[in-house]
Amino acid sequence: MLQFLLRSAGLGLATAVLLLLAVPSLRSNIFPPSTSDDTEISSRDQISFNHAVRNAAPAVVNIYSRKYTENDRSKLLTQGLGSGVIVSEKGYIITNYHVVAQADQIVVALQDGRVAAAQLVGKDRRTDIAVLRIEVTNLPVIPTNPNYAPKVGDIVLAIGNPYNLGQTTTFGIISATGRSSISADGRQAFIQTDAAINEGNSGGALVNTRGELVGINTASFQQATELETYGISFAIPYQLANKIMQKIIADGRVIRGYIGIDGRDINSVTSRLLGNDHLGGIVVLGVDPNGPAADAGFEAQDIILKIDGEKVNGRQSVLDIVTELRPGSKVDILILRKGEEMTLSVTVAEDTN
């Protein structure tokens, strides 16, 4: 019996060897080809943001601000550096106000090696935005997506020229949106990210993983404090930066509406008492005695419900609506005073602060 089993096993092995010799394809299935490194990760498993960087990086430029020396007005010295983003084929570049605020001459260096003097179209200190223009053809333009809304947890890349090392890309996530508490007047909402933004990154691009512009990086928060921060950086949302740019291109400056009130969001208890029809209203805390609201009859404790027929949704909403109003125009504001609704007509003034 044992001899029979051994003979059968031997015949089976011999048959298998003959099949492997006769059909080479069977060998590759049983003995897969070896690699030089068994731990090597295939390219399809590798996470890379190369596509996003290739889409966005060519449109991010280095900006050098130059200033005349005190003793010799014929000599220009580079006194600051930063970054900028080409947003139009016409040569418009968005950067930070503080990058070019003191410049007598502005020089822009593209990533393809071209260098051009830039014209300052206009600047807005409140939002820390400046718009430049260069007379150069065949410009790379950064991709934008009006339907993209930044969300907490989104991966973002910061592209700029930190410390004049040359173009550098860092990455992180969006930690928060709508950060208005760090702005000087509490009006401007920033995107908070942990992507590294250092000196020279100011004015550069914050992009998503498709290379679409999310915001304009600003190091102003770090510059305004003596504390050294890590993993806390801020960017101006692209929607706001684009709005400011369009105003600067149209008027040479940013013209804002002003009615002269200060208010706060109503609390949850008051909101429930007022009912669903009055959700989003704000309570007037103070009225500028020399402003349009005072002339129109506004009083403290009035609750603003609608502006020019548009329902308000909190303090930031009111600020945004009023800012967009054209000085000299008249607007009807629906308010709630002591439980009764009334409409006050206000002539909008210009915000000169």
Please write the tens of the pLDDT for every residue from 33-60.
Answer: 544 454 454 555 678 899 999 999 999 9
Quick: pLDDT tens for 119-171: 999 999 988 999 999 999 999 999 999 899 999 999 999 999 888 888 899 99
Q: Is 172 annotated as a binding residue?
A: no
Q: Dihedral of CA 181/183/187/189: which sign?
A: negative
Residue where a domain stops, chosen among 253, 270, 303:
253
Identify whether 244 is part of a domain: yes
Identify whether 318 is part of a domain: yes
Q: Is 261 annotated as a binding residue?
A: yes
Q: Is 277 annotated as a binding residue?
A: no
Identify whether 30 is part of a domain: no
Residues 240 and 291 occupy one common structural domain = no
Residue 15, pLDDT above cutoff 70: no
Q: Is 126 annotated as a binding residue?
A: no
More confident residue, 291 or 26: 291
Say if strands 349-350 and 233-237 run parallel, antiparallel, or are unpaired. Answer: unpaired
At 238 the three-state DSSP class reads helix
Which of 21-30, 70-79, 289-298 tops mean pLDDT? Answer: 289-298
Residues 120 and 198 occupy one common structural domain = yes
Residues 52 and 94 occupy one common structural domain = yes
- What is the tally of structural domains in the chain? 2
- Mean pLDDT of the region 63-83: 78
CA distances from 311 to 9, 205, 279 (A): 87, 34, 9
- Mean pLDDT of the region 209-223: 81
Residues 56 and 155 occupy one common structural domain = yes
Distance between CA atoms of residues 41 and 166, nearest Å: 30
Residues 172 and 216 occupy one common structural domain = yes
How many beta carbons lie within 10 A of that of residue 26, not counting itself?
Answer: 13
Beta strand ranges found along 125-203 (DSSP E): 129-133, 155-160, 168-179, 190-193
Identify whether 339 is part of a domain: yes
At residue 80 the predicted structure's pLDDT band, cuts being 50, 70 and 90, is confident
The candidate with the shortest Cα–Cα distance to 96, out of 275, 255, 240, is 240
Position 41 scores a pLDDT of 46
Identify whether 25 is part of a domain: no
Distance between CA atoms of residues 222 and 193, nearest Å: 13
Residue 280, pLDDT above cutoff 60: yes
Residue 262 belongs to domain spanning: 257-350
Identify whether 186 is part of a domain: yes
Residue 23, pLDDT above cutoff 60: no
Distance between CA atoms of residues 72 and 83, nearest Å: 28
Rg of the Cα atoms in the chain: 31
Residues 188 and 295 occupy one common structural domain = no
Beta partners for residue 13, in sequence order: none
Position 219 scores a pLDDT of 66
More confident residue, 246 or 6: 246
Residue 29, pLDDT above cutoff 60: no
At residue 5 the predicted structure's pLDDT band, cuts being 50, 70 and 90, is very low
Q: Is 249 annotated as a binding residue?
A: no
pLDDT exceeding 70 applies to what percent of the chain? 77
Identify whether 132 is part of a domain: yes
Distance between CA atoms of residues 301 and 283, nearest Å: 6
Residue where a domain stops, chosen among 253, 287, 312:
253
Task: Report residue 231 as tokens.
Answer: 């993993």
- Mean pLDDT of the region 96-117: 92
Which of 7-11, 193-197, 205-209 tops mean pLDDT? Answer: 205-209
Residues 157 and 207 occupy one common structural domain = yes
How many beta carbons lie within 10 A of that of residue 199, not counting itself?
Answer: 16
Residue 193, pLDDT above cutoff 70: yes
What are the helix (H) ranges across the chain?
Answer: 2-22, 24-30, 50-56, 97-100, 220-223, 238-251, 268-274, 292-296, 315-324
Look over the chain and give the mean of its residue pLDDT values, rounded to a whole number: 82
Q: Can you give the pTM of this predicted structure?
A: 0.76
Query: Which of the 8 DSSP states describes residue 165?
Result: S
Residues 100 and 127 occupy one common structural domain = yes
At residue 109 the predicted structure's pLDDT band, cuts being 50, 70 and 90, is very high
Q: Which residues are catalytic?
A: 98, 128, 202
Q: Is 262 annotated as a binding residue?
A: yes
Position 237 scores a pLDDT of 94
